[in-house]
Structure 1
């Protein structure tokens, strides 16, 4: 806006992005809610939760692995290089998911022992390691791109003098973004972790699995559609979903309201900050 006025902004695209910020937590909420309801009905309501969790572990491991493999094969450089179309991608993903799911069940049965009456949580505590990696993958597919996209344009502009419709992104810039996110998590991420993990609703390993799966799946879908969304937004939706699956009283709506206020303020606050910085640089450099 400061450089070229309101006319240089693609307001339709911006509107689509803003809508994705609303849709992504809602979609994550629905996925997490449904997934946790399935776990409640098929596992947590049973007498021996450990046995039922172990028997059904191939499904929960497999469904996460299925989405990951499909995201790598469908409409990606790898998929194009291997000439893999949608039917083949679905079949390959399904076969690999089944193999990994049953292999995971065997490993869980061998290494995870029932140590208390709540054995399902022990099973899902291990499964959640995988789904947490799934979240990291989804975050790399979207959040890193959000941060590095503008930097890639600047880098290309400095080196080439102009930019086209698409800009190649050097690998070192992606690595730079990944390292930056890792440092951010280690230095300041604990506050967000505390809010998501304790202040919205009480989380267990089964609920955490649902949140991880819902958030990562939502972000990967958005990445495929080319929409920049926040993994945190999706995770909040997932946490609300597992809370609502236990009843309205299980959700802290006061903290949710505060989070939503911050979400609304983020865009204008960022825009104003960017405008001020640009104006300062313009005064000193031009």
Structure 2
């Protein structure tokens, strides 16, 4: 049996949406604002401290090392040991520049030191038989260092953009090469005949010419280094062409030269007076 529900005339209405009441936003008090700002600042500081920073540190250029003081020889010692005097004169000339970053200055100082050592061996030549071999070996060392020096100067000349300065330096290089070979030959002749005075004069003259030419080589190299093309030279040549004046030693060398001239003039006046008396 089926049950029939009674029909209702009532109309069903849709459900009403829920009413959302707006709540007022509370305004923070000054104390709450200060606390919030303090917490934000601490958070920023912590983040900055945790982030690694890469600061660029510019290191100052290292100062040049202080060079040993070089004093000229007394007049009596210079006249007694001409080869030593030539080496000391070369040291005084090279001391006008800093040599810690300059291969040319360094090698000139080595040659000057070996010339003083050659003078000491020469003084023992007649009394010590071993000195003959040592003298030949020392002259060979001077030639080897000079050849290395000339190679550096040729490289410097190739970097020079001034044709006149370039040819001037190359001409000095050729002359110095000839004199270094001549010194080696004359030294061998002297070692074979220690009591030959004529060979002594040739040896002293060769040592003096070698010193004067090497002094000129330094001046020509400095002049050529000013007109070098650094764009094509690269970093390898920078150590060669960097000539930095040692102002203190330059003034000392100038004062020594000024004192040397009056002494020479006085000696010349004395010799003229003796000649007139005779």
Could you state the TM-score of these two structures normalised by the residue count of structure 2? Answer: 0.31
Structure of higher RCO (CA pairs closer than 8 Å, 6+ residues apart): 1
Return the structure number with greater helix share: 1
